[in-house]
Amino acid sequence: MTTTTATRHDRRMYAIMNRREMQALSRTAARRRAWVAAHIALTAASVALWLGSVHLGPLWMPFALLALVLPWCVAMGVINGATRGLLELRDRMLDERQLHERDRVRAIAHRISLGALFAGAAGTGLAAWLGGVRFDGALLFPALFALLVAHWMLPAWVACLRVQDDAPDEVAHAG
């Protein structure tokens, strides 16, 4: 970490992303997987509720969406804490190893997004060609919006799943 050019904001964000008190929530791979799974479920539910409120219009959907905001933010905070701010901190706050890992995470997430887009395109193409299904565009916006959100969130999920467990002596000193 290079602190010579770090701003007050940089130092504050670094401190938030590296709080020892929060590291127990994501200390093991099983815990990190559970947090990522919970975040994926909360994200999917939020997207479904938002799209439902836009397209279907029931009055209860925006309130249900608001109820998901706090748990979504907590889960995102745990993910950011598990990665120690890998995707949130500026370049000047990361060392070379972290910068390399961030590039690697983004590359993996990009490949996953590309695979999802390819599968979606191939699936709709096959459905139209072999099944005679006509796509009128009613599902185009929801599908594209869901893919956009997945593309946006994938780097955080991948980064959290790639975090290595702390060495046993580091865990003893952290507790």
Residue 108 is assigned to a structural domain of this protein: yes
Residue 48 is assigned to a structural domain of this protein: yes
Residue 16 is assigned to a structural domain of this protein: no
Give the Cα separation of 17 and 82 in Å (integer).
8
Residue 107 is assigned to a structural domain of this protein: yes
Residue 11 is assigned to a structural domain of this protein: no
Per-residue model confidence as pLDDT tens for the chain (175 residues): 544 688 999 999 999 998 888 888 898 999 999 999 999 999 999 999 988 888 777 788 888 999 999 999 999 999 999 999 999 999 999 999 999 999 999 999 999 999 999 998 898 888 888 888 777 777 788 888 999 999 999 999 999 999 988 766 555 555 5
What is the value of pTM for the model shown?
0.85
Residue 37 is assigned to a structural domain of this protein: yes
| Token code pair at residue 114 | 């590309």
For the packed helices 29-55 and 60-82, what is the interaxial angle rounded to 10 degrees? 150
Residue 159 is assigned to a structural domain of this protein: yes
Residue 101 is assigned to a structural domain of this protein: yes
Residue 50, domain extent: 27-164
CA angle 79, 20, 168 (to 5 degrees): 90
Of 113, 97, 103, residue with least CA distance to 146:
113
Structurally, the chain folds into a number of domains equal to: 1
Rg (CA), the chain: 20
Classify residue 91 by burial, with Cβ atoms within 10 Å: 0-12, 13-18, 19+. exposed
Give the Cα separation of 113 and 108 in Å (integer).
9
